[in-house]
Amino acid sequence: MRLSLWLGLSLSAALARAAPYKGCQHKVKESIYGPPRGWVKQSPAPPNHIIELKIALPQPNFSVLEQHLWEVSDPDHERYGDHLSKEETDALMAPHQDSVDAVNEWLASHGFAEEHLIRSSAKDWVTIRVPVSLAEEMLDTTYHVYHHAETGDSVVRTTSYSLPEILHEHVDLIQPTTMFARFKAFKSTLHWAGADSSTSTPSSGTITGPAGNQVDASCNNTITLTCLRQLYNAVGYQTSATNGNKFGLTGYLGQYANIDDLQMFFQDQNPAAYGSNFTFVSVHGGINNQSIAAAGVEADLDTQFGFGLTYPTPGTFYSTYGEPPYIPDALETTNTNEPYSYWLDYVLSMSDLPQAISTSYGDDEQTVPYSYAVRACNGFAALGARGVSILFSSGDYGVGDGDPDPATQQCFTNDGRNVTAFIPEFPASCPYVTSVGGLVNIPETAVFFSGGGFSNYFARPSYQDTAVQGYLDKLAPGTYEGLYNPNGRGIPDVSAQAYDFLIVYQGEEGYVAGTSCSSPTFASFISMLNDARIDAGLPTLGFLNPFLYSTGYTALNDITEGNNPGCGTEGFNATIGWDPITGFGSPNFEKLKELVLAV
């Protein structure tokens, strides 16, 4: 909707509808101490710049949805696998009609008719397009352009906004306002180095892998599809192309999955898949530019290894619009930089979804407003209740704050105190997703950059109590006291290889590293398990964590070596059992298959 539409709105009609809000006192709804480290306030935002405001209405029945989630995800519950339908989750996420009416009335007072509103499937989100000047009037705030010196990104944001007091109980949050997350891909070194970056360890013969089987020694230098199948005990397992199983990957920030690169990769590492392709899905205007120069390292990595491991299972690649940096002078450019809600809106509106979906993006938890993190997390819970396994990379900076060099990290809280603290990642910290850490070498050890720790937003879920408390009990008294929240949700849950993955990028072979590698890898083996369950007439696994923490961990390869330094510390150590760097460890597919076919 262009600015001219606003000029055509009837001022008299708007004033007439404004009566219920005339003179109504605004009260601060949400504020932050200041922008996160690295963001600098610049000029006031151009008044005619168009932004999309997303308004979240309360979900009064979410606790009921959550109870369904626990029951259908618990292998010991009689309802295990009895997943909800789209219509059932929509009903449980829907707001009260009172909230719908109150927000409608407020929007009408500013000239918005129903045809100007975009509603989510459950009617719990309302999206409007407005010029900054009107947004400032509605929210009693002032927007500025903020610039990030390190990345060059710019966003239009504010540090506080208000609403009429009578609206507070009917609105959970409005964004983009106070959210400064940069939403980066998780690659520790962006280590596109060409195919000569492998180490000097022996590459001929075989070595013993974590499952006790023989693995090509070259896997200590170069990770390929064959290596992962050997390491994780899935050699010879063939998935179906027709049993209804599907596998999904997400792409953001202009990361385009190049099909020519994919075919070169298939030709080299999985010739049977050569000529096959994935289904492309555009979310909120996302595209998949096939210019070789536009190919994205992250998107190429995800699609090549994810779809290469699961072939011939049908694959879906979701591309969600949004590509920084924002140019403040381009008035028609919207810069939301909050893609989770757009992606969640889309997939929650679909009846037919991939049963396992991996995402390799995120940001420091503290850069995401708490209210927004909770709402996004609720969306992931709804997907889990519908039988979708959601996996996220745990992050690439150890316990640190985003600086890839542990020696220079400055891990400060963003609450005005500026005290040193470990920095967990979101969405990995959401208790309704499965977080995947990173490993390296054979025998497997924690890779130094593997993100891990404890959430400051989300309390430890009950399924983690025994495992996490067992780890905390092993720590020497006073270890890192005050640097982490011992009562928070522990990260990660599991782990997989994350270093020296050989991909094809812009027509050339080279290596990449990061938990961007580990999440699609682990998710691919979950997709294979779903394939096995479907063939056996069983429902898909859905939300994984209750299974993993009750019995699934017994079929994982425990990792007991390595640590994840950051914030001037050595970070956490891998140890026997669960730990906040490798979780419960890497998959043993055959052992997992036995377990999942027995529940």
pLDDT in tens, 397-445: 999 977 767 767 779 898 888 889 999 999 999 999 999 999 999 999 9
Judge whether 341 counts as a catalytic residue. Answer: no
pLDDT for 348 equals 97
Q: Which of 417, 441, 454 is nearest to 571 (CA)?
A: 454
pLDDT for 201 equals 56
3-state secondary structure of 420: strand
Q: Which of 440, 441, 409 is nearest to 422 (CA)?
A: 409
The single residue of 99, 516, 524, 586 carrying the catalytic annotation is 516
The single residue of 30, 172, 300, 302 carrying the catalytic annotation is 302
CATH of 206-596, one of 3.90.550.10, 3.90.1520.10, 3.40.50.200, 3.30.70.100: 3.40.50.200
Q: pTM to 2 decimals?
A: 0.93
How far apart CA 171 and CA 164 sit, in angstroms, is 10
pLDDT for 2 equals 38
Beta bridge partners of 391: 358, 434
CB 322, CB 252: distance < 8 Å: yes
Judge whether 66 counts as a catalytic residue. Answer: no
How far apart CA 179 and CA 159 sit, in angstroms, is 8
| Amino acid identity, position 1 | M
Q: For the chain, what are the domain ranges? A: 13-59+94-180, 206-596
pLDDT in tens, 466-503: 999 999 999 999 999 999 999 999 999 999 999 999 99
* CA 573 to the chain's CA centroid: 25
How far apart CA 9 and CA 399 sit, in angstroms, is 51
Q: Which of 22, 6, 367 is nearest to 175 (CA)?
A: 367
The single residue of 30, 261, 298, 345 carrying the catalytic annotation is 298
Judge whether 172 counts as a catalytic residue. Answer: no
Q: Low-confidence residues of the chain, pLDDT below 70?
A: 1-23, 187-203, 322-338, 404, 407
Residue showing tokens 């030709």: 267
pLDDT for 407 equals 67
pLDDT for 211 equals 93
CB 218, CB 204: distance < 8 Å: yes
pLDDT for 185 equals 76
Q: Which of 437, 435, 439, 541 is nearest to 488 (CA)?
A: 435
CB 180, CB 44: distance < 8 Å: no
How far apart CA 581 and CA 490 sit, in angstroms, is 9
Neighbours of 104 (CB within 10 A): 15
